[in-house]
Chain A
Amino acid sequence: MKKSVFLGALTLAGLAAGTAMAQDSSTLAAVKERGMLKCGVNPGTPGFAAPDASGKFVGFDVDVCRAVAAAVLGDSEAVEYTPLTSAVRFTALASGEVDMLARNTTWTFSRDVDLKNTFVGVNYYDGQGFMVPKDLGVSSAKELGGATVCIETGTTTELNLADYFRVNNMEYEPVPVESFTEAQTQFLAGACDVYTTDASALAASRASFENPEGYVVLPEIISKEPLGPLVRHGDDNWGDIVRWSLNAMIAAEEYGVTSANAAEMANGTDNPEINRLLGVEGELGAMLGLDNAWALNIITQVGNYGESFEKNIGENTPVGLARGLNAQWTEGGLIYSPPFR
Chain B
Amino acid sequence: MTTLSDPPQDQGFRLSQLIYDTRYRSITIQVIAMIVFMLIAAFLIRNTIINLSALGKDINFSFLSSRAAYDINQQIIPYTSNDPHWRAALVGLLNTLLIAILGCILATVIGVIAGVLRLSKNWLTAKIMTVYVESFRNIPVLLWILAFMAVLSESLPAPRAFRGEDATASMWFWDSVAVTNRGTYVPSPVWGSGSSVVIIAFLLSLLGIWAFGKWSNRHFEETGQHLPNFWIKLGILIVPTVLVYFVMGRPITLSYPELKGFNFSGGLHMRNSMLALWLALSFYTGSFIAEIVRSGILAISKGQTEAAFALGLRPSWTMNLVILPQALRVIIPPLISQYLNLTKNSSLALAVGYMDLRSTLGGTTLNTTGRELECMLLMMLIYLIVSLIISSGMNIYNKSVKLKER
Contacts and interface: CB of A to CB of B under 8 A. Distances in A.
Nearest to B57: A116
A153 B364 contact: yes
B63 to A, nearest CB: 9
B31 to A, nearest CB: 12
Given A17-B47, A24-B54, A178-B351, A158 B364 contact: yes
B359 A176 contact: yes
Contacts of B154: 189
Nearest to A85: B367
Interface in B259-293: 260-263, 265, 272-273
B28 to A, nearest CB: 11
Interface stretch (B68-76, B221-229, B306-314): B68-76
Nearest to B370: A115
A233 B350 contact: no
A153 B367 contact: yes
Contacts of A186: 153
A190 B71 CA distance: 21
B140 interface: no
B272 A153 contact: no
Interface string B180-222: 0110000000000000000000000000000000000000000
Interface in A140-197: 144-148, 153-155, 158-159, 161-163, 165-166, 172-178, 186, 189-193
Nearest to A91: B372
A87 B70 contact: no
B73 A153 contact: no
A154 B367 contact: yes
A23 B355 contact: no
Interface in B42-59: 43-44, 47, 50-51, 54-57
B160 interface: yes
A9 interface: yes
A193 B262 contact: yes
B262 A111 contact: no
A6 B35 CA distance: 11
A147 B73 CA distance: 12
B81 interface: yes
Nearest to B269: A173
A77 B101 CA distance: 53
With most chain B CB atoms within 10 A of its CB, the pick from A2, A146, A163, A186 is A186
A186 B32 CA distance: 56
A238 interface: no
Contacts of A86: 367
B368 A159 contact: yes
A153 B265 CA distance: 25
B367 A162 contact: no
A175 B354 CA distance: 8
A147 B80 CA distance: 17
A9 B372 CA distance: 27
Contact of A234 (B47, B54, B72, B260): B54
B71 A162 contact: yes
A267 interface: no
A57 interface: no
B353 interface: yes
Contacts of B261: 145-147
B40 interface: yes
B158 interface: yes
B367 A163 contact: no
Contact of B70 (A115, A162, A191, A193): A162
Nearest to A156: B368
Given A146-B261, A158-B70, A234 B367 contact: no
B363 A154 contact: yes
A87 B73 contact: no
Contact of A116 (B56, B272, B369): B56
A75 B54 CA distance: 31
A155 B73 CA distance: 17
Contacts of B29: 2
Given A173-B73, A186-B153, A23 B54 contact: yes
With most chain B CB atoms within 10 A of its CB, the pick from A90, A159, A166, A176 is A176
A87 B81 contact: no
Contact of A147 (B56, B262, B265, B366): B262
B385 interface: no
A36 interface: no
A168 B270 CA distance: 27
Contacts of B182: 148, 173, 175, 191-192
Contacts of B367: 86-87, 90, 153-155
A42 to B, nearest CB: 15
Given A23-B54, A153-B364, A178-B350, A13 B43 contact: yes
A234 B55 contact: yes
Interface of A: 2, 6, 9, 13, 16-17, 20, 23-24, 86-87, 90-91, 94, 110-111, 114-116, 136, 144-148, 153-155, 158-159, 161-163, 165-166, 172-178, 186, 189-193, 232-234
Given A162-B81, A176-B359, 20 more contacts: A2-B29, A9-B36, A13-B40, A20-B51, A23-B54, A90-B367, A136-B160, A136-B262, A159-B368, A166-B81, A174-B72, A175-B273, A176-B73, A177-B353, A178-B350, A189-B158, A189-B181, A191-B181, A233-B56, A234-B56
27 contacts: A6-B36, A9-B36, A16-B43, A20-B50, A86-B367, A91-B372, A110-B370, A114-B370, A144-B262, A153-B353, A154-B363, A154-B364, A154-B367, A154-B368, A162-B70, A166-B80, A174-B71, A174-B72, A174-B73, A175-B73, A175-B273, A177-B353, A189-B181, A190-B181, A191-B153, A193-B262, A233-B55
Nearest 6 Cβ contacts at the A-B interface: A154-B367, A190-B158, A115-B370, A162-B81, A146-B261, A176-B353
